[in-house]
Each structure stands twice: as C-alpha cells, then as structure tokens.
Chains A and B, each alone.
Chain A
Amino acid sequence: MLDYVGLEADLGEEERLIRDTAREFVEERVRPDIGDHFEAGTFPTEIIPEMGEMGFYAPNLDGYGLPNVSETAYGLLMQELEACDSGLRSMASVQGALVMYPIHAFGSEAQKEEWLPALGRGEAVGCFGLTEPEHGSNPSAMETHAERDGDEYVLNGSKTWITNSPIADVAVVWAKDRSDGGAASASGDGTVRGFLVETDRDGVTTNEIHDKLSLRASITGEISLQNVRVPEENILPGVEGMKGPLSCLTQARFGIAWGAVGAARDCFETARAYATDREQFGGPIARFQLQQEKLAEMATDITTAQLLAHRLADLKERGDLRPQHVSMAKRNNVRTARDQSRIAREMLGGNGITTDYSPMRHMANMETVYTYEGTHDIHTLILGEDLTGIPAFE
C-alpha cells in the first residue's frame, strides 16, 4: 500500500490494529460484491449491523458504548472504508458524524440514551436533513420550518439528497423555529433548530432518488414533512442557529478528507498492479515513461493529501482545528481523488471501464463527493474569505 513517506510507521499500535481490522473487514465482507451493488444501485444493507458491531459508527465519541478512539484512528477507518467505495464511507459518515455527533454534542440525556447505543450498534439508522430542493450551497435560506403548538412542534418542508433517508429510523432535521413569528432571529424568519424526527411519524415520507450516475452503492432520498408533529422533547436543546448543522459538517468533512485519500490510493494501487502486469510490445506497460509519469504524479498527489489528512487529525486531537482547515483538506483531497481516479482508469485502458476494476467506480463516486458537503467552489470561497477577510458569497 502506498505510504510513501512512512506516515503510518508512526502510528500507535492501537491505530495500526484499527486500520488493519477495518481493512480486513472491508476486503472480506464488502469488496467482493461492491461492483455488483454499484451496478444495481443498491447498498449492502446487511452489513449495517455488522459495521455497528465493529464499532465503525462515531468511534471517536465517548460514552454510550462508543469506543472513543483517536482522531487519527477515526480518519484511518474512513480511509479504509472509502478505499472500498464512497458509499460505504458515506454510510459511516452520516450515521456517525451527522447523526450521532449532533445528538452527542447537542442532545438531551434522554435523547442520547435513546439513540446513541442503538445507532452505534447499527440497529437503528439515522439520516441528516439540511439540503433542500431550492437551497444547496446556501442552507441558511432554508424554508423548512417548525411552529410550536402546545407541547409539540409542527414541522413543514422538504429536504433532498439525504443519504439513507429511505431506510432511516430517525432524521436529524434542521428547521427554522417560527413559533414567535421569527421575530427573535437575526434573519427575521426564525432561528435554525435541530429536531429528531422518527420517520414513522404521520406526515413523513422518504422517497428514494433513483437514476444516479454516481455514488450508486448508497441509498439516497428525500424527506418530505407535512404537518409532522413531534413532542418538544425531540428538539436538540444544546444548539441554535447554523452553528448546529455546520459543526456536524465539519466533522463529516474531516472524514471525507481522509476517505478521499483511501479512494485515490485504491485507484493508484489498481493502476500500479495493472501496469506492472499488463504486457504490450513485449513487456509490462509500466516500463514506459508515459505510464511512469502518471504513477509518479499520482503518488505525489496522494502523499500530499495524506500529509494534510494526518496533520488535520493532529490539530483536531489537540483542539486547534478550524473549519477552514477542513475546507482546505476536503477541497484538495477530493480534487486529488477525482483527478487521479481518471488517470488510473486511463492506465487500465478498456478494461478500466468495467466494474471488475475500481477506478471508474471511484471516478464516478468522486463527482458526488466533489460537490457534496460543501461544493469544491464553496470551499474555495471559504478559504478566500479566510485569507482576505472578505466574504465573496455575501
């Protein structure tokens, strides 16, 4: 496995064991059928509880039966999952970083007791509702809203591009609380709050989105909320405003920055193995300078991405990580995976367009990853603002 500057030699024993067990699990339990799932547009749902048993959901959180591993160990796990498929890492990211994290960080004790152990074991599945049909890069303009009625809230609105919504038991829905007419909020149309919405409540529908050409081994859907009544205990008490969803996204993007390294590494290893094996003109194509240049470029870019990921984990561990750091890493690493998966496919020639090899599957997946959880361009503007003090998107 590519680890050109020996970053993994400096891992602690526990981190190495976590990397190895994740790699073994993925290799034996998921990889053999992942191409078929991609082709069929299905997710291997039977592994959801198995991944729970392995402790793959929010393992960097503490308490409620969660293992509380280091941020580097968490990153390595995401790397190994995405080396198989972005859909697999997305499952763990959503469950862990977008559902369990906000419950852990902002939830009441009762909410934590009810959901964290079940979500951690993979007995319950969660999803995260922020994006709306008309509000993608600008989620603060969301239309989904809640109004208090006695000791209940009534929710209305629609969310889309929601990973796992069709199979979810609970949705973390971000909505504007207009109970006081929104007068108290800065925007005047209500303060953003998080709600735990069980998907079997009246008025909740979660249609699946079909016909995706990317991230096919992942279940994606909508959440429609029509006069959905939830008790007031279902509001996340610990956070108000966009800080709630955005802090979740920082957690998830940290995992993406690591995961992209895994996907790119898998493309590289596939291309390297192919090039040294495939013979043309009387010898392996890896002897040609054109192929060597591709491998050298790929290895350099992947190593750079890997360095960024490891540094990010160190900053996160000691509490110095800023969201802008994560933007830089997500932006760079996903771009690397997107570009290099295409080069890897190219090296595989015609064989590379089948599901027998991973690069084109990764390449297609990266189109999603490039624009989800903050598009590449929006992360560019976040960095631009951080570097100049001038926000370009306002």
Chain B
Amino acid sequence: MKVLVTVKEVAEVGDDFAIEGTGIAESDLEYDLNEWDDYAVEAGVQLAEADVADEVVAVTIGPERSEETIRMALAKGADRAVRVWDDALTEEFLDVAGKVSLLEAVVAEEEPDLVLSGVQAADDSFGATGVALADRIGFEHAAVVNDLEVAADAGVANVHRELEGGVEELTEVDLPAVLTVQTGLNEPRYASLRGIRQAQRKEIAAKELSDLGLSAEEVASALTLTEMYEPESESDAEMIEGDAGEAAGRLAEVLREKGVGA
C-alpha cells in the first residue's frame, strides 16, 4: 500500500508584524511544518512501521525554501518527497481549486491507496484542500480523523471522527481514500539526528506545471485576495478593583444595570 501525505510549510507571524499590501512583511514571518500535517506524517510513518504501508511519499506545494520543511518530514520517516512549484504560481494567490488541480496531477502519477492530509493549514485556514481533493479524484473521504486503523487487505480504513460536543463517530471508509487528520491522532515524533542525516539522501523531486501536464490557466485562482488589515479591537471591559466587599458591590451594581435579577 502506498501512502501520500500532503504537507504544507506554513508562515507563522511574530508578536509584532507589519502588513505589506495583501500580505505580512516577509521579515516578520517564520516558517514551519503545519501542525496538522505533522500528525499526518506520523500516521503515515506508523503505517509503514507496522508494515501496512510499503511507501510513504510526502508532497508539498511551495517554493524552494519549503524544502527545509519537507526535509523534516523525510527526517521523521517519509521515504521520499515531491515538491510542486512554478514561477507562474508566485504571481497570484493560489486557491483551494488550484491546489487541488496540482495535487490531482501528483495523485495521478503516484497512484496512492491512501492520502493523509492535515485538517487545515495554520496560516490560511481554508480547511478544504483534503476534502476537495477527495471529491476531485473520486476517492472516499473522512474529515477530522482522530483515530485510525487501516486494514489494507480488506481495503478499509476504520476511523474515529471527532464531532462537536464530545461525540465520536466510528466510520468504515473504503480505500482508496483521503483522510484529513486532526491533532491528537498520535504523538508526532521528533526528528532524530540519525533521521536528519538520512533525510539528506532522500529524494525531493521538484515538479513544475509542465511536468504535471498543467498550464497556468488551469490553476488560476477564482479568488482574489483584496485586502489584509488588522481589525480595530474594541474593548469595553471594565476591570473591577478593590477589596472583596467593594468588588462585590460594584459587580452587583453592574448586574442590576444590565437588568439581572430585576
């Protein structure tokens, strides 16, 4: 069984940052592996360690800089990686449909039995890539998976899904499938020094649009990012100070004003 794990290098914003145009100033950003994807990588590697998966391939969409992040996935045990990028992608905002087109082409090449993806990316938080990919490639899917067992021979994945209000759902999903992984599915390992050394010798295949048989028009975004701004924060919180008696008195006064106990 082959597992494809989608990983994303996400931008993290520091405490102080400046907005430049429709983005955050490059100097205020730090890059890291998306937290949810870390769990997806771990799930893939555990399947390989249990001899359920024969190969775990990580795929990312990102510029050369993102190789360092995907190298971390290799250091944690993925066998090899594919990195998709093209100069044409630097110009415009890449929306979910565009990403799905790129991943669809990678899926066509790799023919995985299982695609693992983080529920969402920590930076743009669309939370849609995994599910939209399943729809496009005609795979079964389950979202927000927090427990996973794969019976490769039977061709099913038994998944727990976390629902609102502490309810858990147990589902059987036929393979091939796309699962979007929730944090807490497992305990992602740290990359060991040995793993980091080995990762230097693992392949990261760089693919451009033409390598995937795609044109810039086919991944062009229907969405346009129009503005980025910090919302004005309004706060009318009143801090009640003083000793217990004074504070209780003032609290009672406020509650009465608001109509409580009237």
Contact = CB atoms under 8 A, between A and B. Distances in A.
Contacts of A25: 190
A239 interface: no
Nearest to A52: B192
Given A13-B68, A13-B71, A18 B190 contact: no
Nearest to B196: A17
A21 interface: yes
B191 A21 contact: yes
Prevailing SS type, chain B contact patch: helix
A118 interface: no
Nearest to B189: A53
Interface string B161-205: 000000000000000000000000000001111101101100000
A55 B192 contact: yes
B71 A54 contact: no
Contacts of B192: 21, 53-55, 67
B197 A21 contact: no
A21 B71 contact: no
A152 B122 CA distance: 64
A16 B194 contact: no
Interface string A58-79: 0100000101110001000100
A14 B197 CA distance: 7
B75 interface: yes
A109 B146 CA distance: 48
Contacts of A13: 67-68, 71, 200
B145 interface: no
B191 A17 contact: yes
A293 interface: no
B190 A54 contact: yes
A24 interface: yes
B144 interface: no
B10 interface: no
Contacts of B200: 13-14
Interface in B73-87: 75
B75 A55 contact: no
B71 A67 contact: no
B194 A67 contact: yes
A54 B68 contact: no
A24 B75 CA distance: 14
Given A13-B71, A17-B75, A69 B190 contact: no
B47 interface: no
A65 B195 CA distance: 11
B194 A55 contact: yes
A65 B71 CA distance: 21
Nearest to A77: B193
A69 B191 contact: no
A56 interface: yes
B3 interface: no
Given A13-B68, A17-B68, 6 more contacts: A13-B71, A13-B200, A14-B197, A25-B190, A67-B193, A67-B197
7 contacts: A14-B200, A16-B68, A21-B192, A24-B190, A53-B192, A56-B193, A67-B192
Considering the complex of A and B, which 9 residue pairs feature the smallest CB-CB distances, nearest first? A55-B193, A67-B193, A21-B191, A67-B194, A59-B193, A55-B192, A67-B197, A55-B194, A17-B196
